[in-house]
Chain A
Amino acid sequence: MKMKKVLSLGLSVLMCATLLAGCGSDKNEATSAEGKTLKIAGLNGGYGTAGWEAVVKAFEEKTGAKVELQLEKNIADVLRPVITSGKDVPDLIYLSVGSEGGLVDTMIQEKAITEITDVLDMKVYGEDIKVKDKLIPGFTSSFSTSPYGDGKLYLAPFTYDPCGLFYNAGLFKEKGWKVPTTWDEMWELGDKAKKEGISLFTYPTTGYFDAFFSALLNETAGPDAYKKAMEYDVDTWKSADVKKAFEIVGKLAKYTHPDTVTNATTDKAFTKNQQLILDNKALFCPNGTWLPTEMAKAPRADGFSWGFTALPKVTADGDSYSSTFSEQVYIPSKAKEVDLAKTFITFIYSDEAAKLFVEKAGTVLPTTTASGFIPEKVKDESGKEIDNEKKLFYSIYDNGAKSDIVGFKAVEAIPGVTLLTDKGILYGSVNAVVNGTMSVDEWYNQVVEAVGKYAEK
């Protein structure tokens, strides 16, 4: 009788204990507190985790500090409650402006990021050169790193990705086609290709238009007007030069592969659009230098080889532009180890870290020396050594193309008005333009109206 009581009590205690099974954390606890601990959280995205892990290890060896690295595919969702609570906020976050989840953009809006202008005058870790001289010019003066337009640096540029048009160079050689250098040549090629059942253009999702459209704006309106446009200057947006960019996209819409909108709409189906290039169903696709790595395992047509070009010029004597896309790292304002985080940023720009990043992950830092470390040869799927295509992509500016950096000035959000994201008025409408349900004029007028609303604030 007593045994029964003891047994039933024991069982109920056991049942209650299983309630606590849900508690417990995923993160590795810091086993030692040798020196200080730096908490880094970031995206496990197209570049993976190998680069970060190697650089973090090197940093730990050099400084004796302990680093807690947390890289997740859905880092924005993971970090949001942490940032909201303000407790245990990471010291350094690797996530880009405009990324899914809107975390970075909201933090910029709410001024929740530490200013890091002083990092520019610090020396690169282990080297005798200042950070501002090591970085490629232009990267720290864009709105993605200096969002308030006040000359102060808030986000540190992390990657250096030229964006342009990818195509199958093998197909062009086979057909004897020349890569167009002007938009008129582009339309001619489009008509030629249509006769063979190949579409001129496709795009992964409308989100990829940020790099494409920025370059196009620079081509039609020039870099000064582009800068004003990024500051929501309504008169610039109302000019005919800016409207021309919309019209070019409108014409391009007619040459777009018919399956594009469907694949761009379904979540995560954008690789199907990228596949169209590999299957010779479409000629050009705007993208960044991560594309070959992303499609490494995809099947492709015989004789396929990656080609990469800047956007065609508007006039024969105009300029050809290719946007440079950059990811960012930043220090939240509630971080504990701000100085250690700044030291880490100076380490990222060192040659040692740049080498590790490019060898382990294919990530190229925006420093003057980083693209020199891209290995000449890499191993393909079967283990055979082949030329590293990345070297080709980074030489795009050597052939006369000019670069511009993507990014609008940070402004207060307007409820109900979304201009910039992949579903916003500026880029999201492209799906409707391609479908033919929205005219270029309608699209243009909606954008100008939205810009006006932001300008009023």
Chain B
Amino acid sequence: MNKKKQKRNFVLICLAPAVILFTVFMIYPTINVFLMSTLKWGGLSGNKTFIGFANFISLFKDMNFIRSCQNTIFLIAIVTIVTLALAIIFASILVREKIKGQNFFRVIFYIPNILSVVVISAIFTAIYDPASGLINGFISLFKPENWETIKFIGNESIVIYSVAGALIWQAIGYYMVMYMASMSSIPEHLYEAASLEGAGKLQQFFSITLPLVWDNIRTTLTFFIISTINLSFLMTKILTTGGPNGASETVLGYLYNQAYTNSSYGYAMAIGAVVFIFSFILSAVVNKATEREVLER
């Protein structure tokens, strides 16, 4: 009797620190965000006025918010699809083909992932520079003297693609290395059997490789979508500060501006609440949509 109680107490004490930390740093701030979203508040002093759902109502009429949502969703879609597709392809090539220097490529591809967003923005500012950037300089070798350089960041229609490019470059390595690890565990005899039956490389890829790593892809997909919401904010904050006249403004960037530059903290918290709910729903949808039967090896 005593021993059982002792054991239970011991378990509770061990769990306590983690539970406390989780409550204080995760649960409490989240509840706080929802509470603050019902206020009209400047963000510094104690003058708070309760206004209920008024913030949310003005939010859905706010064209700038709608546009920033569109930009964010666009970035999530493009960056996720392109990154994961390229990562899977590269991983499959590096694992299946006997290419010299496999480890060397792994390192090279992975390096962008360890760079901070500030460094990546600095690199891409130089690459995208309208006067003497890497890309413009290269293209101008083949073009006549008076050709106008491409304004990767100054042009409102392509700035979002420029940001997507930087985000993809940064993320490919990490996912490639992860998929390489899970692909290496697929036994070789499956491929041998398939090629004996006349399956080409491509068919082997879609029939053997992909289904067997699908569970891994599913987990990284959810994780990546959420991290893109955060990373897109960081990247646009430094590379484009929201783009020419808001063309590359993300939903978190808009939140930041409203909170600090426009002294509308309650409104910003309403945006935060919407983003929170949206991420939950998105993860749930993605999870459900990609559900497959787990295949036995």
Please list the residues of chain A having a beta carbon within 8 angstroms of any beta carbon in chain B.
Answer: 80, 83-84, 101-103, 105-107, 109-112, 258-267, 269, 272, 413-418, 421, 423, 428-429, 431-432, 435, 437-438
CA of A398 to CA of B42, assembled, Å = 43
The answer to whether B260 and A101 touch across the interface, beta carbons within 8 angstroms, is: yes
Contact with A80, one of B44, B151, B244 (Cβ below 8 angstroms): B44
Question: How far is it, in angstroms, between the C-alpha of A294 and the C-alpha of B77 when the chains are bound?
Answer: 42
Q: List the A residue with the shortest CB-CB distance to B146.
A: A197
* Nearest CB in chain A: distance from B237 CB, A: 7
Bound-state CA distance A264–B246 (Å) is 13
Q: Report if B262 contacts A (CB, 8 A).
A: yes
- Cβ of A438: which chain B residues have Cβ within 8 Å of it? 245
CA distance A423 to B64 in the complex (A): 12
From residue B272, how far is it (CB to closest CB) to chain A in Å? 13
Do A106 and B42 touch across chains, with their CB atoms under 8 A apart? yes
Q: Chain B interface residue count: which class?
A: 35 or more
Contact B130 A262, beta carbon cutoff 8 Å:
yes
Question: Is residue B232 contacting chain A, with contact meaning CB distance below 8 A?
Answer: no
Partner of A102, one of B47, B260, B266: B260
Question: Across the interface, do A106 and B43 meet the contact criterion of CB distance under 8 Å?
Answer: yes
Contacts of B58 in A (CB 8 A): 415-416
Contacts of B70 in A (CB 8 A): none
Is the Cβ of A266 less than 8 Å from the Cβ of B240?
yes
User: Hey, which chain A residues are within 8 Å of B237, CB to CB?
Assistant: 267
Contact check, A112 vs B152: say whether CB atoms are below 8 A apart: no
The verdict on B242 contacting chain A, using a C-beta distance below 8 Å, is yes
Chain B interface mostly = loop
Measured between C-beta atoms, what is the minimum distance from B133 to chain A in Å? 9
A415 B55 Cβ-Cβ under 8 A: yes
Which residues of B have CB within 8 Å of A259?
A: 130-131, 149, 151, 154
Q: A266-B153, A421-B261 are in contact. Are A435 and B42 (CB under 8 A)?
A: no
Q: Are B257 and A418 in contact (CB under 8 A)?
A: yes
Residues of B with Cβ closer than 8 Å to A? 42-45, 47, 55, 58-59, 62, 64-65, 121, 125, 128-131, 148-149, 151-156, 159, 237-246, 257-258, 260-264, 266-267
Give A71 to B45 CA distance when docked, in angstroms: 23
Q: List 6 A-B contacts (CB under 8 A).
A: A106-B44, A262-B130, A262-B151, A415-B58, A431-B244, A435-B155
- Decide: B262 and A413 in contact? CB cutoff 8 A: yes
Closest Cβ of chain B to A206, distance in Å, is 8
Q: Which of A107, A417, A418 contacts B44 (CB 8 A)?
A: A107
In the complex, besides A264-B244, A415-B267, 11 extra interface pairs with C-beta distance below 8 angstroms are A101-B261, A109-B42, A110-B263, A258-B149, A258-B154, A262-B130, A266-B241, A423-B241, A431-B244, A432-B156, A432-B245
Cβ A262 vs Cβ B152 within 8 A:
yes
- Give the 5 A-B residue pairs with the shortest CB-CB distance, closest first: A262-B154, A415-B267, A261-B154, A432-B245, A415-B264
| A residues less than 8 Å from B64 (CB atoms) | 416
Asked whether, in the complex, the Cβ of B45 is within 8 Å of the Cβ of A415, the reply is no
Contact, CB under 8 Å: B151 / A267: no
**Least CB separation from B42: chain A residue:** A110
List residues of chain A with CB within 8 A of the CB of B45.
110-112
A110 engages B47 (CB within 8 Å): yes
- Do B130 and A265 have beta carbons less than 8 Å apart? no
Q: Given that A416-B59, A429-B245, A438-B245 are contacting pairs, would A265 and B44 also be in contact in the complex, using a CB cutoff of 8 Å?
A: no
Residues of A within 8 Å of B262, CB to CB, are 102, 413, 415, 417-418, 421
Shortest beta-carbon distance from B66 to chain A in Å: 11
**Docked CA distance A416–B156 (Å):** 21
A93–B220 Cα distance when bound, in Å, is: 47
- B244 contacts across to A, CB distance below 8 A: 261, 264-265, 431-432, 435
- What is the distance, in angstroms, from A394's C-beta to the closest C-beta of chain B? 32
Q: How distant is the Cα of A411 from the Cα of B119 in the complex, in angstroms? A: 39
Residues of B within 8 A of A83 (CB): 44
Beta-carbon nearest neighbor of B133 in chain A: A262
Residue pair B125, A258 in contact (C-beta under 8 Å):
no
A103–B264 Cα distance when bound, in Å, is: 12
A101 surroundings in chain B (CB, below 8 A): 260-261
Contact indicator B154/A265 (Cβ below 8 Å): yes
Given contacts A110-B45, A258-B151, A262-B130, contact A423 B242 (CB under 8 A): yes
Q: How far is the CB of B152 from chain A (nearest CB, A)?
A: 7
A262 to B135, CA, bound (A): 15
A359 to B156, CA, bound (A): 44
Choose from A107, A267, A414, A416 the contact partner of B238 (Cβ within 8 Å).
A267
User: A105: shortest Cβ distance to chain B, in Å?
Assistant: 6
A260 to chain B: which residues have CB within 8 Å? 154
Residues of chain B contacted by A84 (CB below 8 angstroms): 43-44
Which of B47, B65, B121, B131 is within 8 Å of A267, CB to CB? B121
Contact B263 A102 (CB under 8 A): yes
Identify the closest chain A residue to B239 (Cβ).
Answer: A266
Report which residue of B47, B239, B261 has the largest number of chain A beta carbons within 10 angstroms of its beta carbon: B261
